[in-house]
Homo-oligomer: A and B are copies of this chain.
Amino acid sequence: MYVAILGYGTVGAGVFDVLMKNKNIIAKRVGFPLDIKYVLDLRDFPGDPVEPYLTHDFRQIIEDPEVEIIVEVMGGIHPAYEFTKEALETGRSVCTSNKELVAVHGAEFVEIARSRKINFLFEASVGGGIPVIRQLIRSITADEVEEVCGILNGTTNYMMTMMRETGASFEDALKDAQAKGFAERNPAADIEGHDACRKIAILTSLAYARQVDYEDIYTEGIVGITDIDVLYAKAMKHGIKLLGRSYLKDGLVYAIVAPYMIRKKNPLYPVNGVYNAIMVRGNMLGDVVCYGMGAGKLPTASAVVSDVIDAAKHRHVNIPILWEREKMVLGARDDIENKFFVRVPIAEAAKAREIFPIAKEISILECESSEFAFVTQVMTEKEFREKAANLTVINRIRYEI
């Protein structure tokens, strides 16, 4: 059975490596060998093992009837969308790591795959090597999903870990992440939360079998987090993590991406560095947390290849994925409930105590003469906003309930 890989970037090269290095074990699991026939890339790679497989022309791939599985690891929407659609419509299963493509067009591709008795699979689009998509759609099937909550972006988790461990400023942590290759030169997608937002949109769509548009999810990145916030978190023995969350309440699904202060006993607390972790809460199961390398060449490639193996084992059989194209209307952002960690000038302490129902007060040496900091009781986003409008808020971070 022949496979073509679209894109020889980091993940594409990883997929090439995994298919080559684990060839025998994969053949045993599939029942027959999987061979790479083409790798599409605009560049040449003289001397690279990929050379004999390289083509610059997608038509060569799509017109070769021997190609039954296409791996799309180019990223971006165009031409990934057109290539994927044509591949599916000509009866090829497609496996992708492209979260943007999946978040926007997943439901459409799932539908085409169903109608053609092939497969559109996207395990690697969320959580890199962590098999969270299969967990949601194939393991946690006896439960109503009450909540999905995860550390879905390794770059920002690396930065938050560094700020925590070294006291670095946000800017220094970002520079370090860029120097180590974890953050892009333009880091907006990571630090503004857009990457995590696409991922929680995909997970929420799968948990509730309906299209969730990522534009509808309130998203706040880590750009507002300072080293002073981290000092407060340390003083409380808490961590600050960028979370993607969605939960079901009274028949409505709410979703948000934002930094949260979490307690030491939260299972996501010890997840540091470029690791990702995802908690799924079922109404029968309780919490299941999965944790692993959320990015990186080989972990992501391993997840892509596990999909290739599934596609090969289900040659003319569609693996059912419930994901209707009809859009789900999310619960209003204003109604999302949180506690809040809040910092105001010390002169406003009395006023803050009057306005907010306060769960606890915190003081750190560095700011004890200048700031009043506290954690509120649980309140809605709207209530918080209205109350906070009466104060000079230095910063506020959501705080796990």
Residue of B nearest to A280 (CB): B292
- Which residues of B are found within 8 Å of A313, using beta-carbon distances? 320
Q: Is the CB of B267 within 8 A of A267?
A: no
Residue of B nearest to A289 (CB): B291
Q: Provided the pairs A285-B293, A290-B290 are in contact, do residues A302 and B134 lie with their beta carbons within 8 angstroms?
A: no
A14 and B282 CA atoms in complex are apart in Å by: 14
- Within A88-133, the residues touching B (CB, 8 Å) are 123, 129-131
Q: Provided the pairs A129-B288, A270-B270 are in contact, do residues A134 and B142 lie with their beta carbons within 8 angstroms?
A: no
Q: Is the CB of A285 within 8 A of B289?
A: no
- Which residues of B are found within 8 Å of A140, using beta-carbon distances? 131, 302, 306
A21–chain B nearest beta-carbon distance, Å: 7
Chain B proximity mask over A257-285: 1 for CB below 8 Å, otherwise 0: 00000000001011000000000001111
Q: How large is the interface on A (under 10, 10 to 19, 20 to 34, 35 or more residues)?
A: 35 or more
- Which residues of B are found within 8 Å of A305, using beta-carbon distances? 141-142, 284
A282 and B300 CA atoms in complex are apart in Å by: 12
A22 partner, pick from B28, B129, B284, B296, beta carbons under 8 A: B284
- In the complex, besides A18-B284, A285-B303, A290-B291, 9 extra interface pairs with C-beta distance below 8 angstroms are A22-B283, A123-B139, A129-B282, A129-B285, A131-B135, A138-B310, A142-B306, A285-B293, A317-B317
**Which 9 residue pairs spanning A and B have beta carbons closest together?**
A142-B305, A131-B139, A288-B292, A284-B302, A285-B302, A289-B291, A129-B285, A284-B298, A142-B306
